[in-house]
Structure 1
Amino acid sequence: MAHYPDLTPYSYSESDREMLNVGWLARWSGYPRGIVDECVVDALKVLSATYDNQMRGIHHCAFCGTDRPVVLGGSALDTEVWLGSAEIRVRGADGTLYAAPNLVIHYITEHHYRPPEEFCRAVARTVGIETVGPLTLAD
């Protein structure tokens, strides 16, 4: 998978919308680690079933070699969603649009990736979760 630093302009595929990258990780590049509030993980699982920018190819986890991680997603968290071939896109309260590979869920839960706080707030906001306080903590 392509690597793009967090909060840089999105350029993975053509888009007529300006977006910022989140979670485009590579084995050779470090990434922020920490704890992400479970409400963000659950919200990402809900959003994972929408399949934004679905691709034909599959990206495997570069960190552990997991072939195709699966999560239970969708509004009732009961839909099997294969990760590694689509994006999750969310809009922040300030209008900023973020694009993350849906593997971001696996990166958070298995590799302790800590996405930017503003992305986590946008994820929670998109599914209607009101938040108070930080949604991420550094290691």
Structure 2
Amino acid sequence: MFFVDLTAYEYQAEDSFTDRESGFYALWYRPAYARLNVGWLAAGRPYPPGPVPAGFVEKLDLLLGIQWMNQCLGKHECDLCPPGEGPEGNGELRIPGAPGVAYAAPSLVTHYVAAHGYRPPGAFVDAVFAVDAEEWAGKRWPDVPFPWVPSQVERLLE
């Protein structure tokens, strides 16, 4: 799937979080914030290459391990890698940006940066560094690691 960086995210109308500890509890809602695409790369489509600041890949990878967003049953293999050699992804990441804006990235975004030299937009890089990973990691159900979840959401409980 390919989307140009910083265009409006329209892949799914709702956002859903799955609890990373139970793997079952979930909540979903129609976001009130704008979602902007970042890192949706595809073979044969150009993307901005270049270096990223030290520590960016590690921080991004850490956040992907903390936040389980829009997890899908199927998997998507990196099609920038030779067939059968790339990692697979099945979810997304939301990073809060300016007030009312969240960046929407695929779970393969760290791989794209580290293995394929993708350089995300500077605003996304800054937003990733601004996330308090320790605070997000400390969130336990029914809280989720993202600050803009509406108080009135549908929650799937056991």
TM-score, normalised via structure 2 length = 0.67
Computing the radius of gyration over CA atoms, which structure comes out larger, 1 or 2?
2
Aligned Cα root-mean-square deviation (Å): 1.8
Which residue matches 1:87? 92
3-state SS of 1:34 partner: coil
How many residue pairs match? The answer is: 115
Give SS of 1:89's match: strand
Q: Is the 8 A contact 1:43 1:127 kept in 2?
A: no
- Which residue is equivalent to 2:138? none
Q: Contact 2:79/2:86 (CA < 8 Å) preserved in 1? A: no
- Provide TM-score, normalisation by structure 1: 0.75
Q: Is the 8 A contact 1:60 1:68 kept in 2?
A: yes
1:63 is aligned to 2:80 = yes
The 5 Å alignment of 1:122-133 reads 122-127=127-132
| AA in 1 matched with 2:41 | L
Could you tell me which residue of structure 1 aligns to residue 104 of structure 2?
99
1:28 counterpart letter in structure 2: G
Alpha-carbon distance change, 95 to 125 in structure 1, aligned in 2, over 3 angstroms: farther
Cα shift at 1:95: 3.8
Q: Could you say which residue in structure 1 is the equivalent of 2:156?
A: none
Contact 1:35 1:112 in 2 (8 A): yes
Name structure 2 gaps, 5 residues minimum: 15-29, 134-158
Q: 2:69 aligns with which of 52, 75, 94?
A: 52
C-alpha displacement of 1:94: 3.7
For 2:76 and 2:124, locate their aligned partners in 1 and report how far apart those are by CA, in whole Å: 22
Q: Distance in 2 between matches of 1:3 and 1:21?
A: 10
> What residue ranges of structure 1 are gaps of 5+ in the alignment?
70-82, 129-139
Instruction: Please say which of residues 41-50 and 110-119 is displaced more in the overlay.
Output: 41-50
Matching of residue 10 in structure 1 with residue 9 in structure 2: yes
TM-aligned CA deviation for residue 92 of structure 1: 1.4
User: Equivalents in 1 of 2:112, 2:54: separation in Å?
Assistant: 14
Name the CA distance, whole Å, in 2 between partners of 1:89 and 1:24: 13
